[in-house]
Structure formats: C-alpha cells, structure tokens
C-alpha cells in the first residue's frame, strides 16, 4: 500500500542486478542514488528559504531585497551566494583545535540531514519508514547540540565558547517542552509512525489533530515556540547575536564551513515545521471533505501507478506548501520581535513552557476519558474507516496484544 | 542473522575493558566518568545481544533501557561531585585528592 | 552480507572510539571519541533488532548524558588541566592489565557454545518484533506484564508474571531525587571557597 523510498531502492537494485551487477554492489549503488536524492532535497529548502528570508525581511523593513541576480526577483541569489562562499579562503585559526574545528560543521549537517530521512512528504514518500519514526527523528535532531558545542570550543576564542555553551544550554532545555508537546498527538493517534499519524488526518478539517481538543490546539503553539527555539531562530538566536557576541559559536567560521551551518539550520527549520504539519495540521491532506475522499482513493489502492503517483504528488505539494507557510511565519517572527536575553530564554523554558506543556499533556490524556462519558470519541463525531486511530474507534478497544504474532507457530499453542 | 553472538560479546568486552582501564589509569576526574560510561555501555551491548540471540526475549532490552536511564542519573551526580572537587581544590587532577592519606 | 559489513563498520567505530578514549590525552578529544563510540553502539543496537533501545541510547545517552559530560569538561578543562600526562610506567601497567583482562573475557566467550546452551534450556524465540518491525509495542506490553513476544507457557512455572511498571515508577522518582540532589551539590558557592581554604582540615 505505501510505496516507500526503500521499495524504490529495491526496485532500482533489482534493475541493476538485471544488468549483471552483484547483489552487494547493486544495493550499494541504489543506496547512493537515494542518498543523493535526499541530500538534494536537503539543499532545496535552504535555497528556497534563504531567498524567501531575504525577500520577506526586505519587505518587513520597507525595502526590496535582492532584485538583480536571476531576473527581477533575485531567484538565483542563494546560488550566487553559495558560489561566492565556495571560492573563499579556508581559514583555520591558529588557536583552534584543527580536527575538531573541521568536524563540527559536519556533525550539525549530518544530524539535520538524517532527520529528513524519517519525514514522510506524502503517503508513503518516506525514505525510512520505521514504527518509531518520530522518536528516532527527535533523537537524531538532538545530536545537533554536540556539533554546536564542538564548534564553540574548537574555535579557540572566548566569544565562540560562550556562544556555544549558551546555545547548547538553550537547545537542550527546549527539547523538554518540545518532547512533551509532541507526545500529545502521539497519544491521540496511538502510534509513533509519522506515516500513520499523517494518514489518519484525512477527511474533513476537524480530523486534524490541532482541532481534536483544546489542549492539542494550545500544544501546537507551544510546540511551535519550542521548535523555533531549538532551531536557534530569533527571538532565541543568541548564537548569531551580532550585538553581543560577534557571532557566537560561528565567529571563526568563514566560507563554506559557515554555509554548512546555515544549510543545516534551514533544513532543520523545514524538518521541525514538517513535524508540526504532520502532527497537528493534517500532513498532506487538504482538509476539504470531498477532495480528500477523491485523493485517498488512488493513494490507498495500488491499481494504477500513475494515478497513485499523481495523488501523492499533489499531497507532496500540499505538505510542502503548509511547511513552507510555517517557515515563513518563523521568518516573519524573526524580523519582528526583539531578541531575548539568555536568562529570559531559560526562564521562559523552565518556568513557563515546561509547566504549561505538562498541564496540556495532562489535559490531553484526561480529555478522551471525559469525552467517553458522553458516548462520543471526538467532538466532531466518530471517524470511520480503517484509517481512524485505534484510540478513537467506538468499538471495543482492540487488544494491542492482538497485533503481535500469536507465537503459536512452533508448537501449536494458542496465543495470548 | 549472520553475525553470531560471540562477535557482539567481544565488542562488549572491548568497551568494558577500555572503560576499566580508563577508570584505573586516568588522572582527570571527568575521564574517570567517561570510563564508567564505557563500562555501562559494554554491559548494555551484552544485554541486548543476549536478548536477541537467546531465549532472554525482551527482558534484556527492558533492562538495558533501565541501565541507560540510571547511567544518566549517576553521571549527573558524579559530575556534581567532580565540580565540587574542582571548586574546592582548584584542580581536576584526582591525584591531588589525598587529604585523608597517611 | 550487508549485515556483516554494517556490523564490522559499527564494531570498529565503537571499539576504536573506546580505545581512543583510553589512548588520547586531550580531554575534549576523549569526549568526542566517546561520542563516536556510543553512537556506534546505537548502530549495533539497530542491528540487533532493538530499535527502541537504540533510539533511547541516541536521545538519552548521546544527546543528554554526553552533553552533560561535555559541559563538565568545558567547566573544568581550562588551561593546565586539558592534558594531564601519564607516566610511561603507568601506561605500560595499564595496557598490560587491560590486555590480560580482555583475553580472559575473550577466551571465556569464545569457548562457550552459545547455540547449544541456549537451545538446551528453552526454545529460542525467533524475533521479538511484531509485523511492523519494531519493538516498541512489545516493550510497552512488557511494562504492563504481558510477555507478548514469547510463547504462552514458557514462563508458566514462575507463576504470576508481573510487569516492569513498578521499577519504571521507582526509576522516575529516583531520577527526580538524583537530579535535585545533583543540582544542589553543584550550585555555585564561590563565596565560601576563600573561607574553606583557610579553615580546611
């Protein structure tokens, strides 16, 4: 039913094997092709959102932004910047720890890039479909902190060290309310599989998890704030606080190493906005009742590959549009709000957001219990069909143990 | 699975022994903590390998989850002690902590 | 075949990182080597079908405990304490003891015939994963006490089998107590140090 990138990899691999390549080499080449695809997509958000940021920030500041490179709207400005940065001199400061200084950008890039592997861009358009996809995505994104600390330390300057330590403290602290807010849609959906969570929000707008109960509604906003903080975006951007710390942990980085950090930042912005869209805003579904029903037909039946692919491509467009809208909101917030001090940042997290997210979590857990006394499972009625979450179905709660193999294969005893 | 249990146990042994040597020979207090982490990870590899290759089942994985969590707690306390040592003696060299000697 | 190749990649990274922690002298490089080692351990867990444990290792151990360790390194590794040299006598004795210890463990591990030992006691369970390929549901059921991945009747001679919920709650309270204590221990009390050095026993 779902056509993951892994399935495509196996078809490419079997094609290559048909050309008389050995199995190991065929698998390796198929993997290389797919890594190239995902890495290409890693550069795409960066290219688009760098241009979008310059244009939006220009308009907010009552100026035009780039207008020369590539026509009237400056489409190719990001590529021109990339070209300029590549040909810059590769500087490594003398007081810097050489190997660690060179490795730090790669740690940050790898963690952002790996997070894109677990994100479904449409139904089944996912590189690695794991049942614990969301958990693993959060785990991989939390590795970015190590790259930031290494960059701050290995630069060999005190501005970089202070900036790196502050940044690391901020990123680690904001993981807590972020994770608590992420658990709320998981409870509603009953699964950690991002493909499944996105899939069950089809149908009308009320099926979106953000409209499921008021606690999920507030959880979206708390998650968005925490995601903005964990991407080091303003108003939490002390790493790039030019007025305070020169440039924080990026002080000694120039040329293409610097651009690696920004590629990683825009990719992780897209990744966290993608998670927000999947968990709260309906994923790749449009929310228009008739249209979702029409599109879900070819998506879930594998009769015609072309229609399935077209329906999924439309879903990809919807997903990308929603995630880009959220990224544009983040850009808008950056150029509107002033920067917070480090103590204000930590206080916001530990004194306000953590208790708020704990209360929301408690509310979201009690809500289905309270609602069951009225006989309904959601306030919009009961979602029907096999795509509905198991926690929302009105029939007797399915025994989760039924989903496991009955373990009766070897000597014929009955299962649990 | 092609790789046998023995290979995983040997890797666990390498990490365990490295951790023990690190704990025994390093003079930096934080380096001793790193040795403790390595020891716990070697034990974790053993648990998960046994859970996969013998009839231990998922008990091994649940225990390794508890080990991970308890290692985090122990690292926090040990780090607090190391920071106190550094604040009081102005050095992190644990060979200087010999006030009770003799 | 690829499992073999992946196993050797992760094993060499994990073992190399562990040995690197012992060999390197600079404390920050030791920390980075430890990060590589623990990250590769998560890869080994993935190869052993323990995906939930592997994700927890990455999230909690590498993303949490090691960040804590690195903060500790940054706070204490200024100036002369970044590289503390060991004398060559200590290095030799340490290496010898390590090699001896490892050979004892290795001979024991290689000698035992694990397949015959396991099969003689209980039937080996094929896979602990459900049809979706993950262990998260099975681990969750184990917390409540349902051994859904093994056969019914295997554990019947131990009577009523309880789950891991009580240890889970105890560990939660334990973590709270430990972290409150650690935060209290590590609070900055600089104003006391000048008196402490004077009145130190």
Domain containing B41 — which CATH number?
1.10.287.3510
- Residue A404 half-sphere exposure toward CB, CA atoms < 13 A: 28
- A219 has pLDDT over 70: yes
Computed over every residue of chain A, the mean pLDDT equals 80
Query: Do A141 and A80 lie in a common domain?
Result: no
Please tell me the distance in Å from C132's CA to the nearest CA on chain B.
16
Residue A1 falls inside a structural domain: no
Query: Do A198 and A54 lie in a common domain?
Result: no
Pairwise CB contact (< 8 Å): C21 & B77? no
- C122 has pLDDT over 60: no
Nearest to C63 among A100, A145, A193 (CB): A145
Q: Does A400 touch chain C (CB under 8 A)?
A: yes
Residue B101 falls inside a structural domain: no
d(CA C150, CA C158): 14
Average pLDDT rounded to a whole number, residues C184-192: 72
Query: Do A129 and A254 lie in a common domain?
Result: yes
Average pLDDT rounded to a whole number, residues A296-306: 72
Average pLDDT rounded to a whole number, residues A147-153: 89
Confidence grade of residue C196 (pLDDT, cut at 50, 70, 90)? very low
Average pLDDT rounded to a whole number, residues A266-282: 92
Residue A308 falls inside a structural domain: yes
Q: Which residues, other chains included, contact A57 with Cβ-Cβ below 8 Å and sequence gap of 6+? A: A65, A331, A334, A335
Q: Which CATH class is domain C1-87?
A: mainly alpha
Residue A16 falls inside a structural domain: no
Please tell me the distance in Å from A100's CA to the nearest CA on chain C.
8
Residue with more model confidence, A19 or C1: A19
What is the pLDDT, as a whole number, of residue A1?
A: 40
Q: Does C3 touch chain B (CB under 8 A)?
A: yes
| Among the listed residues A352, A359, A364, A337, the one whose alpha carbon sits nearest the alpha carbon of residue A173 | A352
Average pLDDT rounded to a whole number, residues A196-215: 85
Pairwise CB contact (< 8 Å): C48 & B51? yes
Confidence grade of residue C59 (pLDDT, cut at 50, 70, 90)? very high
What is the pLDDT, as a whole number, of residue B68?
A: 96
State the Rg of chain A over Cα: 23
Pairwise CB contact (< 8 Å): C52 & B65? yes
- Candidates B20, B35, B69, partner chain C, best to mutate (most C CBs within 10 A): B69
Average pLDDT rounded to a whole number, residues C69-78: 84
- Candidates A95, A104, A136, partner chain C, best to mutate (most C CBs within 10 A): A136
Query: Do A222 and A361 lie in a common domain?
Result: yes
Query: Do A244 and A338 lie in a common domain?
Result: yes
Confidence grade of residue C81 (pLDDT, cut at 50, 70, 90)? low
Q: Does C92 touch chain B (CB under 8 A)?
A: no
Query: Do A72 and A150 lie in a common domain?
Result: no
d(CA B44, CA B16): 10
Task: Give contacts of C131 with chain A, Cβ < 8 Å.
Answer: 403-405
Above pLDDT 70, what percent of chain A? 83
Query: Do A224 and A348 lie in a common domain?
Result: yes
C contact set with A (CB within 8 A): 1-2, 5, 26, 28-29, 32, 35, 39, 51-52, 55-56, 58-59, 62-64, 66-67, 70-71, 74, 123, 130-134, 136-138, 140-141, 146, 148-153
Average pLDDT rounded to a whole number, residues A152-176: 85
- C192 has pLDDT over 80: no
Pairwise CB contact (< 8 Å): B62 & C4? no
Domain ranges of chain C: 1-87, 132-190
The answer to whether A189 touches A389, Cβ cutoff 8 Å, is yes
Confidence grade of residue C9 (pLDDT, cut at 50, 70, 90)? very high
What is the pLDDT, as a whole number, of residue A40?
A: 78
- A414 has pLDDT over 50: no
Closest-CA residue of A relative to C35 is A146
**Which helix (H) or strand (E) element contains residue A299?**
helix A289-300
Residue A410 falls inside a structural domain: no
| Among the listed residues A260, A317, A243, A253, the one whose alpha carbon sits nearest the alpha carbon of residue A285 | A317
Residue B83 falls inside a structural domain: yes
What is the count of structural domains for chain B? 1
The answer to whether A195 touches A172, Cβ cutoff 8 Å, is no
Residue A149 falls inside a structural domain: yes
Above pLDDT 90, what percent of chain A? 23
Average pLDDT rounded to a whole number, residues C124-133: 50
What is the pLDDT, as a whole number, of residue C132?
A: 55
pTM of the predicted structure, to 2 decimals: 0.87
- B3 has pLDDT over 50: yes
Nearest to C55 among A132, A165, A414 (CB): A132
Please tell me the distance in Å from C73's CA to the nearest CA on chain B.
7
Count chain A–chain C contacts defined by CB atoms under 8 A: 112
- B37 has pLDDT over 60: yes
- A413 has pLDDT over 90: no
Domain extent at residue B80: 5-91
Please tell me the distance in Å from C106's CA to the nearest CA on chain A.
31
Please work out, in degrees rounded to the nearest 5, the angle formed at the alpha carbon of residue A13 by the alpha carbons of A10 and A14: 90
Provide the CA A263 distance to its chain's centre, in angstroms. Answer: 14
Nearest to B30 among C22, C38, C73 (CB): C73
Residue with more model confidence, B52 or C129: B52
What is the pLDDT, as a whole number, of residue C133?
A: 61
Q: Does C19 touch chain B (CB under 8 A)?
A: yes
Q: Which chains touch C (3 or more CB pairs under 8 A)?
A: A, B
- B99 has pLDDT over 60: yes
Pairwise CB contact (< 8 Å): C130 & A405? yes
The answer to whether chain A touches chain B by having 3 or more C-beta pairs less than 8 angstroms apart is: no
Please tell me the distance in Å from C126's CA to the nearest CA on chain A.
10
Residue B96 falls inside a structural domain: no
- Candidates B5, B10, B23, B31, partner chain C, best to mutate (most C CBs within 10 A): B31
What is the pLDDT, as a whole number, of residue B102?
A: 73
Confidence grade of residue A412 (pLDDT, cut at 50, 70, 90)? very low
- B85 has pLDDT over 60: yes
d(CA B29, CA A141): 30
What is the pLDDT, as a whole number, of residue B56?
A: 77
Q: Does B59 touch chain C (CB under 8 A)?
A: yes
- pLDDT tens column, A323-371: 999 999 999 998 898 888 888 889 999 999 999 999 999 999 998 888 8
Q: Which chains touch A (3 or more CB pairs under 8 A)?
A: C
Confidence grade of residue C193 (pLDDT, cut at 50, 70, 90)? very low
Phi-psi region of A407 (alpha: psi -120 to 50; beta: other; left: phi over 0): left
- A10 has pLDDT over 90: no
Residue B76 falls inside a structural domain: yes
What is the pLDDT, as a whole number, of residue A342?
A: 82
Residue B99 falls inside a structural domain: no
Lowest mean pLDDT among A41-55, A97-111, A311-325, A352-366: A41-55
Domain extent at residue A55: 44-87
Confidence grade of residue C79 (pLDDT, cut at 50, 70, 90)? low
Query: Do A159 and A249 lie in a common domain?
Result: yes
What is the pLDDT, as a whole number, of residue C157?
A: 43
Q: Does A98 touch chain C (CB under 8 A)?
A: no
Nearest to C3 among B2, B45, B69 (CB): B2
Residue A9 falls inside a structural domain: no
d(CA A288, CA A363): 29
Distances (CA, A) of C125 to A39, A176, A334, A357, B53: 39, 37, 54, 41, 8
Q: Which residues, other chains included, contact C26 with Cβ-Cβ below 8 Å and sequence gap of 6+? A: A97, C82, C83
Distances (CA, A) of A209 to A117, A224, B33: 23, 15, 44
Lowest mean pLDDT among A133-137, A342-346, C2-6: C2-6
Q: At what angle do helices C27-47 and A98-115 cross, to 10 degrees?
A: 30
Task: Give contacts of B29 with chain C, Cβ < 8 Å.
Answer: 76
Lowest mean pLDDT among A15-29, A41-55, B58-72: A15-29
| Among the listed residues A196, A180, A184, A188, the one whose alpha carbon sits nearest the alpha carbon of residue A133 | A196
- Quickly count: other Cβ atoms within 10 Å of residue C193's Cβ: 13
Give chain C's count of helices (H) and strands (E). Answer: 9, 0
- Whose tokens are 């509107």? That residue is A336
Nearest to C125 among B13, B48, B57 (CB): B57
Confidence grade of residue A64 (pLDDT, cut at 50, 70, 90)? confident
C93-132 residues touching B, CB cutoff 8 A = 94-95, 97-98, 101-102, 105-106, 109-110, 114, 118, 121-125, 128
Query: Do A209 and A278 lie in a common domain?
Result: yes
Q: What share of chain C is helix, strand, coil (3-state, %, to 5)?
A: 75, 0, 25
Residue B9 falls inside a structural domain: yes
Closest-CA residue of A relative to C71 is A165
Positive or negative CA dihedral for C86, C89, C91, C94? negative
What is the pLDDT, as a whole number, of residue A397?
A: 47
What is the count of structural domains for chain A? 2
Residue with more model confidence, A295 or A354: A354
What is the pLDDT, as a whole number, of residue C139?
A: 84
Long-range CB contacts for residues C120-128, cutoff 8 Å, separation at least 24? C121/B55, C122/B55, C122/C154, C123/A410, C123/B55, C123/C151, C123/C154, C124/B53, C124/B54, C124/B55, C125/B55, C125/B57, C125/C149, C125/C150, C125/C151, C127/C49, C128/B51, C128/B52, C128/B57, C128/B58, C128/B61, C128/C49
Q: Does C40 touch chain B (CB under 8 A)?
A: no
Provide the CA A127 distance to its chain's centre, in angstroms. Answer: 13
Query: Do A311 and A370 lie in a common domain?
Result: yes
Residue B75 falls inside a structural domain: yes
The answer to whether C193 touches B87, Cβ cutoff 8 Å, is yes
Task: Give contacts of C106 with chain B, Cβ < 8 Å.
Answer: 10, 13
Pairwise CB contact (< 8 Å): C59 & A142? yes
d(CA C149, CA A48): 47
Distances (CA, A) of C39 to A391, B1, C58, C181: 35, 22, 7, 29
Please tell me the distance in Å from C113's CA to the nearest CA on chain A.
23
- Candidates B30, B60, B70, B74, partner chain C, best to mutate (most C CBs within 10 A): B30
Average pLDDT rounded to a whole number, residues C122-126: 47
Lowest mean pLDDT among A37-41, A355-359, C32-36, C78-82: C78-82
Residue A158 falls inside a structural domain: yes
Average pLDDT rounded to a whole number, residues A90-116: 85
Distances (CA, A) of A230 to A63, A136, A157, A194, C110: 29, 17, 24, 20, 47
Residue A17 falls inside a structural domain: no
Across A60-64, B71-75, C139-143, the highest mean pLDDT is recorded for: B71-75
Q: Which residues, other chains included, contact A109 with Cβ-Cβ below 8 Å and sequence gap of 6+? A: A260, A263, A264
Computed over every residue of chain C, the mean pLDDT equals 79
Which DSSP symbol is given to A337? Answer: S
What is the pLDDT, as a whole number, of residue C197?
A: 43
The answer to whether C146 touches C163, Cβ cutoff 8 Å, is yes
Please tell me the distance in Å from C87's CA to the nearest CA on chain A.
24
Query: Do A140 and A204 lie in a common domain?
Result: yes
Omega cis (within 30) before A235: yes
Closest-CA residue of C relative to B14 is C15
d(CA A260, CA A226): 23
Residue with more model confidence, A254 or B3: A254
Pairwise CB contact (< 8 Å): B11 & C15? yes
What is the pLDDT, as a whole number, of residue C178?
A: 95
Confidence grade of residue C107 (pLDDT, cut at 50, 70, 90)? very high
Average pLDDT rounded to a whole number, residues B20-41: 93
Q: Does C68 touch chain B (CB under 8 A)?
A: yes
The answer to whether B35 touches B74, Cβ cutoff 8 Å, is no
- B38 has pLDDT over 70: yes
Query: Do A153 and A75 lie in a common domain?
Result: no
């Amino acid at each position: 039913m779902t056509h993951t990138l892994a399935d495509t990899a196996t078809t490419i691999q079997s094609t290559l094997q048909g050309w008389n390549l050995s199995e190991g080499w065929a698998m390796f080449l198929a993997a290389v092709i797919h890594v190239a695809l995902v890495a290409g997509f890693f550069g795409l958000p960066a290219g688009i959102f760098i241009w979008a940021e310059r244009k939006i920030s220009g308009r907010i500041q009552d100026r035009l932004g780039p207008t020369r490179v590539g026509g009237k709207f400056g489409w190719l400005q990001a590529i021109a910047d990339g070209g300029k940065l590549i040909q810059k001199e590769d500087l490594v400061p003398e007081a810097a720890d050489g190997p660690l200084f060179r490795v730090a950008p790669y740690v940050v890039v790898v963690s952002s890039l790996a997070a894109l592997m677990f994100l479904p861009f449409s139904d089944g358009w996912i590189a690695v479909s794991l049942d614990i996809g969301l958990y693993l995505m959060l785990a991989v994104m939390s590795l970015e902190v190590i790259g930031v600390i290494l960059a701050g330390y290995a630069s060999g300057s005190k501005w970089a060290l202070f900036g790196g330590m502050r940044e690391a403290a901020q990123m680690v602290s904001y993981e807590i309310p972020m994770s608590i807010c992420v658990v709320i849609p998981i409870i509603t959906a009953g699964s950690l599989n991002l493909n499944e969570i996105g899939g069950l929000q089809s149908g009308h707008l009320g099926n979106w998890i953000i409209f499921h109960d008021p606690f999920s509604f507030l959880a979206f906003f708390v998650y968005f704030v925490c995601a903005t903080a964990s991407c080091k975006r303003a108003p939490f951007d002390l790493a790039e606080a030019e007025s305070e710390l020169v440039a924080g942990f990026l002080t000694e980085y120039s040329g293409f190493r610097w651009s690696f950090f920004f590629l990683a930042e825009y990719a992780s912005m897209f990744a966290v906005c993608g998670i927000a869209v999947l968990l709260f805003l309906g994923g790749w579904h449009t929310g228009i009742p008739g249209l979702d029903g029409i599109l879900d037909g070819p998506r879930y039946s594998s009769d015609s590959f072309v229609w399935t692919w077209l329906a999924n491509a439309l879903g990809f467009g919807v997903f990308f549009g929603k995630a880009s809208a959220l990224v544009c909101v983040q850009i808008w917030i950056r150029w509107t709000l002033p920067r917070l001090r480090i103590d204000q940042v930590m206080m916001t997290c530990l004194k306000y957001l953590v208790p708020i997210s704990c209360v929301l979590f408690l509310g979201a857990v009690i809500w289905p219990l309270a609602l069951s006394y009225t006989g309904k499972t959601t306030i919009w009625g009961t979602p029907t069909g096999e795509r509905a979450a198991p926690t929302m179905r009105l029939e007797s709660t399915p025994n989760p143990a039924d989903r496991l193999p009955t373990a009766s294969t070897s000597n014929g005893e009955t299962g649990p | 699975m092609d790789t046998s249990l023995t290979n995983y146990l040997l890797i666990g042994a390498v990490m365990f022994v490295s951790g023990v040597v690190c704990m025994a020979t390093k003079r930096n207090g934080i380096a001793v903590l790193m040795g403790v982490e390595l020891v716990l990870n070697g034990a974790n590899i053993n648990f998960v390998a046994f859970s996969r290759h013998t009839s231990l089942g998922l008990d091994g994985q649940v225990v390794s989850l508890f080990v991970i969590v308890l290692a985090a707690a122990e690292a926090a306390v040990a780090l607090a002690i190391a920071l106190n040592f550094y604040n009081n003696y102005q050095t992190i060299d644990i060979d200087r902590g010999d006030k009770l000697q003799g | 075949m690829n499992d073999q190749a992946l196993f050797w990649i992760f094993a060499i990274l994990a073992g190399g990182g562990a040995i690197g922690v012992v060999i390197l002298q600079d404390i920050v490089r030791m920390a980075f080597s430890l990060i590589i080692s623990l990250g590769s351990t998560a890869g080994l867990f993935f190869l052993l079908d323990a995906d939930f444990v592997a994700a927890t290792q990455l999230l909690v151990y590498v993303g949490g405990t090691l960040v804590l360790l690195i903060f500790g390194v940054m706070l204490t590794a200024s100036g002369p304490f970044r590289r503390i040299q060991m004398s060559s006598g200590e290095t030799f004795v340490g290496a010898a003891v390590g090699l001896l210890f490892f050979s004892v463990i290795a001979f024991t591990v290689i000698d035992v015939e694990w397949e015959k030992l396991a099969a003689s006691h209980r039937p080996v369970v094929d896979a602990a994963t459900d049809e979706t390929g993950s262990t998260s549901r099975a681990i969750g059921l184990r917390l409540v006490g349902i051994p859904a991945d093994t056969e019914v009747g295997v554990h019947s001679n131990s009577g009523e089998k309880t789950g891991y919920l009580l240890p889970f709650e105890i560990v939660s309270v334990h973590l709270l107590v430990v972290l409150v204590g650690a935060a209290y221990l590590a609070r900055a009390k600089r104003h006391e140090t000048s008196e402490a050095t004077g009145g130190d026993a």
